[in-house]
A and B are shown apart, each in its own frame.
Chain A
Amino acid sequence: MARYSYVAILAFVLAGSVWLEVALRTRVFRRWLRLGLSILPAVVAFFVWDVYAVAQGHWYFDPERILGVMLPGEVPLDEVLFFIVIPIASILTIEAVRSVKSAWVVGDEPEETTEPAP
């Protein structure tokens, strides 16, 4: 069971954030393409960082407390799941804040159309 320690924490993060999709109608998962396009660059960039950090010995993982599936660069699969789960939770959070504070500008609003009257 210890090897599920890492992913259990990720499950905790998801449990703490996915309910926003229902309770605050964040509609993040319905925008799956936009979600994927936002997460993918982060996964790539932070995977590269992870490979570097592992190679340099900045951090290391307890082999007993991860799934045991190692990706190129000696990066555990758990880490890639982290780079997917944390961005999902972050996007759910900002959309949840927007759900409550609908007047706050986020920056993706349609531009004001100031068409002259006919």
Chain B
Amino acid sequence: MTYTQVALLGVVLAVILDAGLLRTRLLTRRVFWTSYAIIVFFQLITNGMFTGFGIVGYNGDAIMGGSSPAEGPPPFIGDGRIAFAPVEDLLFGFALILMTLSLWVFWGRRGVQRKPTSGPPIWRKG
């Protein structure tokens, strides 16, 4: 399989975990998508550093875009890349985040350290 195919499979498995196996249904919740929006913003920064500085390289045969580093850094956007990183990395990250958060909610629902609960922020009385 290519990275593109494995990444799609990873997302499918994470969705099955959340919607089917654990029934945490995070994909239906506003709290998940709000959190994901924050996380993906920072993911673009960190992935950009990993790939832009050449810490991690990718084989063009395994992704939609071309290889990096071939000659110098990959394009910031275009050729299957966003912020230097292959778009496949967004699928990889989504699968990792959804799997982790689904398990977090699952254990809490099972009564494993549901408490102490989160909040309130220090600027609010509580």
A35 to B58, CA, bound (A): 31
In the complex, the chain B residue whose C-beta lies closest to that of A39 is B100
Contact of B120 (CB < 8 Å), options: A22, A46, A95, A102: A102
A99 engages B3 (CB within 8 Å): no
Residues of B within 8 A of A45 (CB): 99
Chain B positions 39-81 with a Cβ under 8 Å from a chain A Cβ: 39, 42, 46, 49-50, 53-59, 61-63
Interface residues on chain B, number (Cβ under 8 Å): 53
Classify the interface of chain A: helix, strand, loop or mixed: helix
Is B82's CB within 8 Å of the partner chain A?
no
A5 engages B2 (CB within 8 Å): no
Is A94's CB within 8 Å of the partner chain B?
yes
Residue from A49, A56, A90 having most chain B Cβ neighbours under 10 A? A90
Contact of B103 (CB < 8 Å), options: A33, A41, A59: A41
Residues of A within 8 A of B55 (CB): 5-6, 9, 61-62, 65-66
B56 engages A38 (CB within 8 Å): no
A24 to B35, CA, bound (A): 14
Seen from chain B, the residues whose Cβ lies within 8 Å of a Cβ on chain A are: 1-3, 6, 10, 24-26, 29-32, 34-35, 38-39, 42, 46, 49-50, 53-59, 61-63, 93, 96-97, 99-101, 103-109, 112-114, 116-122
The 7 A-B residue pairs whose C-beta atoms are closest, nearest first, are A108-B108, A99-B119, A31-B113, A87-B100, A34-B113, A38-B103, A58-B62
